[in-house]
Amino acid sequence: MAEEVEPGIFRIELPLPGNPLRSINSYVITGEDQNLIIDTGMNRPECVEVLDRELSSLDLDLSRTDVFVTHLHADHLGLAPHISRGRTKVHMGPDDIDNINATGYWSRMLNFALKNGFPSVDPQEAIRKHPGYRYGPLGPMNLVPAKDGDIFRVGDRRLRVVHTPGHTRGHNCLYEEKENILLSGDHILGDITPNISCWTGEEDPLSDYLSSLKLVKGMEIDTVLPGHRSVVRDPRKRIDELVEHHKERAREVLDIIGGDAMNTFSIASRMTWDLTYKNFDEFPVMQKWFALGEAIAHIRYLETGGRVVREMTGDRIIYRAASSP
């Protein structure tokens, strides 16, 4: 049932069966002339059923309801076409729109994963199994770039776009300036840590993420409405915890490398993961994929900081500590 977490702001919890995230929070902000839905759930029947039922219970007129998507991942974007029907606007960060429109996006990710030691797989089968591909948006969308500083007015609420790259390059939050509320997408989560992944050899998303956390920490925020799990009532404390978590992960990666030269998949297999499996070998393929992406992000952070160096051995990327001979 839709929960009114703040006056005029309703949270709909959409199920993600078989996914460690368990569910996603979709938010609805109502106004007399215009409504706004923030994030939509995956394009799968379980999400459609709950979303349609709860939107109907709110008596929402979808013909005057826009969608704001914090970032391009399928659990946030998947049902945007279902809601907007190609008639209303779907607002999202321009960098993430560029990724959606880019050709060869999935193939480039897979090729980079293979260079980093991911086991050889049937490329098309691997892409088809990825939840971002399986449950992504289908149908027309009127995508409109939402840029840093843009303002949305819904009822008596004034919501400002805050660009927070890290979880994705185009990730955006919405800041409600009157009551100091941040709708944070996957930038700040209270019960779990956002996955920061890297799938190129040029970007450094973890550095971007830490900078975005610093930016948000400097804002007057009392309440964070996150994309998953519980409302965050002490955002500054949580930001400090997230920063320390990622710095500790980076230290762990350095300890794992030691004096060796290692590919990223081997490093990921030795990292600590909060999953209910006996060891890394038991991880499902997609969990190994996500672990690899997070390991690459932490290695790129260390590489940018001059603490590890990258080398090529044949068609594989390996890393060693910068002080190693």
Contact 49, 41 (CB under 8 A): no
210 with 119, same domain: the answer is yes
40 with 115, same domain: the answer is yes
112 with 34, same domain: the answer is yes
- The CATH number of the domain holding residue 256 is 1.10.10.10
* Res 157 pLDDT > 70: yes
Residues pairing with 160 in the sheet: 151, 175
211 with 188, same domain: the answer is yes
Full-model pTM = 0.94
pLDDT at residue 296 in the model: 98
- Alpha carbons 236 and 158: distance in angstroms, whole number: 22
Q: Which of 241, 270, 304 is the last residue of a domain?
A: 241
- Position with higher pLDDT, 76 vs 102: 76
Task: Give the three-class secondary structure for 57.
Answer: helix
64 with 134, same domain: the answer is yes
DSSP string, 206-240: HHHHHHHHHHHHTS--SEEEESSSSPBS-HHHHHH
89 with 176, same domain: the answer is yes
234 with 260, same domain: the answer is no
What mean pLDDT do residues 106-129 have? 82
228 with 255, same domain: the answer is no
User: Residue 325: which pLDDT band, with cuts at 50, 70 and 90?
Assistant: very low
307 with 187, same domain: the answer is no
What mean pLDDT do residues 162-185 have? 97
Contact 258, 209 (CB under 8 A): no
- Alpha carbons 247 and 66: distance in angstroms, whole number: 38
86 with 156, same domain: the answer is yes
Closest CA to 24 of 261, 206, 192: 192
Query: Please, what is the average pLDDT of the chain?
Result: 94
pLDDT at residue 286 in the model: 83
Q: How many independent structural domains does the chain possess?
A: 2
Classify the C-alpha dihedral 92-28-140-105 as positive or negative.
Answer: positive
pLDDT at residue 234 in the model: 96
Contact 91, 66 (CB under 8 A): yes
SS3 content of the chain, % helix, strand, coil (to 5): 35, 25, 40
pLDDT digits (tens, 9 = 90+) for 297-322: 999 999 999 999 999 998 899 999 99
135 with 256, same domain: the answer is no
User: Residue 129: which pLDDT band, with cuts at 50, 70 and 90?
Assistant: confident
Domain that holds residue 295: 248-321
pLDDT digits (tens, 9 = 90+) for 228-269: 999 999 999 999 999 999 999 999 999 999 999 999 999 999
* Res 107 pLDDT > 90: no
84 with 161, same domain: the answer is yes
Provide the percentage of residues in the chain whose pLDDT is more than 90.
82
- The CATH number of the domain holding residue 98 is 3.60.15.10
pLDDT at residue 214 in the model: 98
pLDDT at residue 182 in the model: 98
* Res 123 pLDDT > 70: no
Contact 183, 70 (CB under 8 A): yes
What mean pLDDT do residues 169-197 have? 97
Q: Which of 199, 222, 241 is the last residue of a domain?
A: 241
User: Residue 25: which pLDDT band, with cuts at 50, 70 and 90?
Assistant: very high
